Structure 1
Amino acid sequence: MSAPFEAFLSTPQALAAFDAPAVVQAMLDVEAALVRAQAAVGLVPLPAAQAIAGVCKAELFDVPALVAASGRAGSLAIPLVRRLTETVALFDAEAAGYVHWGSTSQDVIDTALALLQRRALAVLDADLARLAAALLAVAHTHEEAPLLARTLLQPAQVISWGHKAVGWIAPLLRTRSALRVAAEAALQLQLGGAVGTRAMLGPEADAIARHMAEALGLRLPPDAWHTQRDEAARLYAELGVLCGVLGKLARDLSLLAQAEVGEAAEPSGSGRGGSSAMPHKRNPVASMVALAAALRAPQRVAALLAAMVQEHERGLGNWQSELAEAAGLFQSAMGAAAALAEAVEGLQVDPARMRRNIDALHGLVYAEGASMALAAAGLGKSGAHALLERLSRHTAATGEPLAEGLRAALQADAVLRERLGPAFAAERLDATLEALFDARRAAEPAIARARPRLAALQREARALEESPPPWPAPAGAG
């Protein structure tokens, strides 16, 4: 059972994917596949293979006792193989002699981990598809809604909700694709024997490996990779990138959900996001889970990269630390994706509040546009910037709309009127200000850029949905 502070940052499904019964069953699946492959090439008698495979069921073993014994043994495979051999011997003493024949502990554990990771990635991929679909839906619903862009946490200019959503969706789809590519390489069979040569399997070693890979639904690598962890590390690195992508989305959503901003909110109700002391609270708990994952992933990925430096043909301490860190990284990523998928499916967007927040700035977010219009009309870049900087300070201090300050400045300054000329008469100024200080018009460039990108992202999402993931579960896998 996972510690409670670990459990609430993930999902029951993610935690179960790497719990002790799941690990033991995956290792037994590998042992069963090994002996069946050996029987297929005539290395092991078929009745012996059937006897061994028939008891490769985790429920027949005392899993907590195996885990407890693994610490002293130095590997979970050692007590498991011992107990598997003893169990087989109860029914067929001759067959017991073929248990784990020609393999090594790391073969079983690495291959079992690939099976567990494949199942976890299938769940993760489904949640990423849900999240992408939900983001696309909410992006289209409010595509043209004007929204404040914020730089250094301060109001900057006006963009559109669609433009904002593109920035969330595009890296999500890119990372989902990259995960698939990394998984195709990393989810592979490990079968090298004691030192990676498969020497004890004899001339049928390659055929046995091929049978095993096909039965388990894993890639068949050209060689053993006991201490060559580059392909596994790339998968872990992509998971770390995914946690960062999800964390970026969560950070933005949590900031938009602040009461004083109020432009978006996670769904509430059914005990979600409440406070033990303050009944009015509506905490963004999905964002919290994703941010926790983003916070922890860099350290986990760093540890996994450090574990690549392994000695000769079997690592001491580094491979073992990789096993421990990898599960936590998967569980963090899975928890974050599931939480955000549920939140975005029920996300509440408030375009009216977005517009009120824009209007509350009294036109300050249009200062750059006004400056460029005045510069083009004859005031020059530096002169226009200096004027708008002074007027912006006045607006911030008094609350007087920037448009009014600009109109008054031009009417009161004969030099400005002379430099700008008749093209900037009162009628022209009013028309210019009307264009500049309308949020929807100011967001039009962002909308124009977002619309084709959103359409492309929709096509990409559909393509990802239609293509099968590279980690199908093998038929009859336990």
Structure 2
Amino acid sequence: MSVSIFDSFLTSGDMIAVFDDAAIVQAMLRFEQALAQAQADVGLLPQATARIIAEACDVQRYDVPALIVASRRAGSLAIPLVKELKKTVTAADAQAGGKVHFGGTSQDVIDTAMVLATHEALQLLDDGLHDLTGHLLQLADQHTGTPVLARTLMQPAQITSLGFKFAGWLAPLVRARARLREAGQRALQLQLGGAVGTLDVMGEQGPAVVERMAALLGLRAPDAAWHTQRDEWVRLGLEVALLSGSLGKIATDLSLMAQGEIAELAEPSGEGRGGSSAMAHKRNPVSAMIALAAAARTPQHGAALLAAMGQQHERGLGNWQAELAEWPSLFLSAHGALQALNEAIAGLQVDSARMLRNIGEFKELIYPGSVRDAAEIARPAQRLAEQQLRQLRADITKLSTSS
């Protein structure tokens, strides 16, 4: 996948690699290899034919940029790829060349390749969420009793505890991690239906090929082809969009609390982080900036997935292709935000003395005549934080042990 310099700035090299052009083509070739092997395992093809096809399923043997150019004329990347694969196999064995892609269709190849890539992408998100929830849990434990101004409608409200605020950042991420796993279990399924989803070319052996092929690829076997049934797939994409929104919420609060006039939190400094080319005194919250950029872009990608769901009859015209183009952007943005916030939260600097000074400026307005100190006023929030953190800790442990 080719991304602009500005996209690269907002994501991670690991996620770019998942959706890289060569990686997607290799995933398509994995489909063809698994299809031939599954058919051989159920007796539709000789095992020797499957081995010859497998030997040709190496992306290094193909000109990926040329395939992409050809796909614009053909209408699908699978068409020129299968053509070249057949040429390669036929050169080794003419009879085997005639069995390449037997019973499959272009959408089977591309959808399954995207499922395989998405499996890797979800693991990157899960790993990032594991780290970020761990950092936030540790911070929340350390600051359950640290008083801080709560702010409503962007104005000082009452006194809460910083641990309670951090718990509010943490909870949606724990839920997101669980929901992404649940949605992934449903959506990460093989696509194999043939021309119109009926597996007719493979006859009675079709269902057995589906089961065997899904096992070979480590995917769920679908109840039926889902060529134009995009609900489970789009639901997974929208869970990624929700994650980006939750990361944007954290980034918003962090950036506001890091403002020079507030100065209650600060991202780690050093190694050129957050500098200004014109103002040496500035310390910009660059991690929050990246997460906010991801949150700002995500709604459009999610909306595009929903808009593309009305796919015509048994094969979408234009809307499936639009979905394919939008899909990687959700993961690129989400992982960029996760990586950035992991860097920020792992080295987050908390100025509890500044929090007390900020409280002091407004205490008479909030609690006129009160002789209680801020820590005492924050105690109810502290108790709530401790209660919430016990449950969140248990949820995180459950997720970690089941990964």
Shared fold (TM-score, shorter chain, > 0.5): yes
Q: Distance in 2 between matches of 1:30 and 1:279?
A: 54
Residue 465, structure 1, aligned to residue 380, structure 2: no
In structure 1, runs of 5+ residues without a counterpart are 368-402, 404-432, 469-478
Give CA-to-partner distance per residue, 1:377-423, whole Å, 9 cap, x none.
xxxxxxxxxxxxxxxxxxxxxxxxxx3xxxxxxxxxxxxxxxxxxxx
- Aligned-pair distance for 1:156? 0.4
Q: TM-score w.r.t. structure 2 length?
A: 0.98
Q: Secondary structure at the match of 1:195?
A: coil
The CA deviation at 1:194 is 0.2
Instruction: Give the deviation of 1:69 after TM superposition.
Output: 1.1
Query: 1:182, 1:231 within 8 Å by CA — same for their partners in 2?
Result: yes
The Cα offsets for residues 55-78 of structure 1, whole Å up to 9 and x where unpaired, read as 211111111111111111111000
Structure 2: gaps spanning 5 or more residues: none
**TM-score, normalising length: structure 1:** 0.83
**Alpha-carbon separation, structure 1, partners of 2:59 and 2:277:** 41
Q: Which moved more, 1:234-243 or 1:356-365?
A: 356-365
Q: How far, CA to CA, are the matches of 2:58 and 2:347 in structure 1?
A: 41
Cross-structure match for 2:311 = 310
Q: Which moved more, 1:189-198 or 1:287-296?
A: 287-296
Q: Distance in 2 between matches of 1:53 and 1:37?
A: 12
* C-alpha distance in structure 2 between counterparts of 1:457 and 1:268, whole Å: 30
- Partner amino acid, structure 1, of 2:173: L
Aligned position for 2:4: 3
Matched residue, 1:52:
53
1:349 partner amino acid? V
Separation in 1, partners of 2:396, 2:207: 39
- Inter-partner Cα distance in structure 1 for 2:202 and 2:289: 51
> What SS class does the counterpart of residue 315 from structure 2 fall into?
coil
CA contact (8 A) 1:142 1:351 kept: no
Alignment partner of 1:443 is 2:347: no
1:333 aligned onto 2:317: no
Q: CA deviation at 1:362?
A: 4.7
Matched, 1:25 2:23: no
SS of residue matched to 2:312 = coil
Mapped to 2, the partners of 1:120 and 1:254 lie a distance apart of: 27
Q: Across the two proteins, how many residue pairs are aligned to each other?
A: 402
After the TM superposition, which parts of structure 1 deviate over 4 Å for at least 4 consecutive aligned residues?
Answer: none
Alignment of 1:38-187 (within 5 A): 38-187=39-188
How far apart, CA to CA, are the structure 2 residues paired with 1:96 and 1:269? 59
Alpha carbons of structure 1 residues 362 and 147: separation in structure 2 relative to 1, 3 Å: closer
Q: What is the CA deviation profile of residues 125-157 of structure 1, one whole-angstrom value per residue up to 9, with x for unaligned ones?
A: 000110000001111122211000001111000
CA distance in 2, matches of 1:71, 1:279: 49
Distance 2:187 2:243 in 1: 17
| Aligned equivalents of 2:274, 2:73: Cα separation in 1 | 43
User: 2:389 matched to which residue of 1?
Assistant: 454
| Residue identity in the other structure for 2:395 | E
CA distance in 2, matches of 1:330, 1:353: 37
1:263 paired with 2:264, answer yes
Q: For residues 336-366 of structure 1, what are the alpha-carbon distances to aligned partners after superposition, in whole Å with 9 as ceiling and x for unaligned?
A: 1111112111111111111111112252222
Asked if 1:434 corresponds to 2:352, the answer is: no
Cα deviation 1:422-455 (Å, max 9, x = unaligned): xxxxxxxxxxx312xx111110110011111112
- Cα distance in 2 for partners of 1:207, 1:287 equals 50
User: Residue 159 of structure 2 aligns to a residue in which SS?
Assistant: strand
User: Quick one: which amino acid aligns to residue 73 of structure 1?
Assistant: A
Deviation at 1:108, TM superposition (A): 0.6
Matched to 2:300, the amino acid is Q
Alpha-carbon distance between aligned partners in 2 of 1:287 and 1:130, rounded to the nearest angstrom: 17
Q: CA deviation at 1:20?
A: 0.2
Deviation, structure 1 residue 281: 1.7
CA distance in 2, matches of 1:192, 1:248: 41
Please report the RMSD computed on the Cα atoms of aligned residues, expressed in angstroms. 1.0
Q: Which whole-Å CA distance do the structure 2 matches of 1:168 and 1:34 have between them?
A: 45
Structure 1: how far apart are the matches of 2:87 and 2:327?
Answer: 31
